[in-house]
Structure 1
Amino acid sequence: MEDDGVRERDARAYETVHEAADFTELKRRYRNFVVPWTVAFMVWYLAYVACNNWARGFMSQQVVGNINVALVFGLLQFVSTFAIAAVYGRFANRKLDPLASGLNAKYKRERRR
């Protein structure tokens, strides 16, 4: 029986947090970061794949020694992934974490009621 009371209290606490303006703002900020960066990365990745398939002359051009454009583009895929992760980390620390911490504190307060 007590389990039902705990679950009900947790559900009420979650609903309270879910209805908070900060929760809506957190989702909005997250979405406004993730969607454009995901689209940008996918365009960059698909451009790389398309060039490898249909622009072989361009991709096989030598840059330095045996290093060609395809190898540089391939390495830049890794660099861009880590760059986006670093930008996201800074963004999350500045814009998402303060809201998430406040919501977490609110959730814990509501659970104690």
Structure 2
Amino acid sequence: MSDLAAPGEDRRSIPSSPVSGQTEDVNWQAIESNSDFRELIREKRNFIIPATIFFLVYYFGFLILVGYFPDVVDVNVIGNINIAYLFALSQFIMAWIVMALYVRRAGTFDRLAHNILTRVKGEKK
């Protein structure tokens, strides 16, 4: 990779090390057009958007049930514990499940990001 940016290229100096204060030119357009970068964005989008939609539907589903169908969620299951309490508590469990799925999937994100960094740093030499 050349030290001079071609006309129209988006190059900005970023610190290569917060300690040393040295800067490197990064060709952001080249990174953006890289297939690994596009795959990273696609993988993140394919997980984050459905997970967010699922959790919002789950969360607001509880509020809709309690607001519009109070008789359904007022049914006692164990002693004085009703469906509404169980559903509310299940949201904490569901948040942990979504978090665990994200942590597992983050390995893929990290691998793709590492590939991008390796390629960018390799081109600098």
TM-score by length of 2: 0.75
- Identity among equivalent positions (%) equals 31
- Greater helix content: 1
Letter in 2 for 1:99: L
Please give the per-residue CA displacement for 1:3-40, whole angstroms capped at 9, x wherever unaligned.
Answer: xx97284332x332222110001101111111111111
Structure 1 residue 67, shift from structure 2 partner: 1.0
The 8 Å contact of residues 59 and 68 in structure 1, kept in 2 or not, is answered as yes
Please give the per-residue CA displacement for 1:45-65, whole angstroms capped at 9, x wherever unaligned.
Answer: 111010111111111111101
Counterparts of 1:69 and 1:10, CA distance in 2: 58
Counterparts of 1:37 and 1:7, CA distance in 2: 35
Equivalent residue, structure 1, for 2:3: none
Letter in 1 for 2:25: D
Letter in 1 for 2:121: K
Structure 1 residue 105, shift from structure 2 partner: 2.0
Equivalent residue, structure 2, for 1:106: 119
Instruction: Write out aligned runs for 1:1-113 (5 A).
Output: 7=13, 9-12=24-27, 14-93=28-107, 95-110=108-123, 112-113=124-125
For structure 1, the 5+ residue unaligned runs are none
The 8 Å contact of residues 60 and 69 in structure 1, kept in 2 or not, is answered as yes
The structure whose RCO (Cα within 8 Å, separation 6+) is larger is: 1
The 8 Å contact of residues 17 and 106 in structure 1, kept in 2 or not, is answered as no
How many residues matched?
A: 106
For structure 2, the 5+ residue unaligned runs are 1-10, 15-23
TM-score by length of 1: 0.82
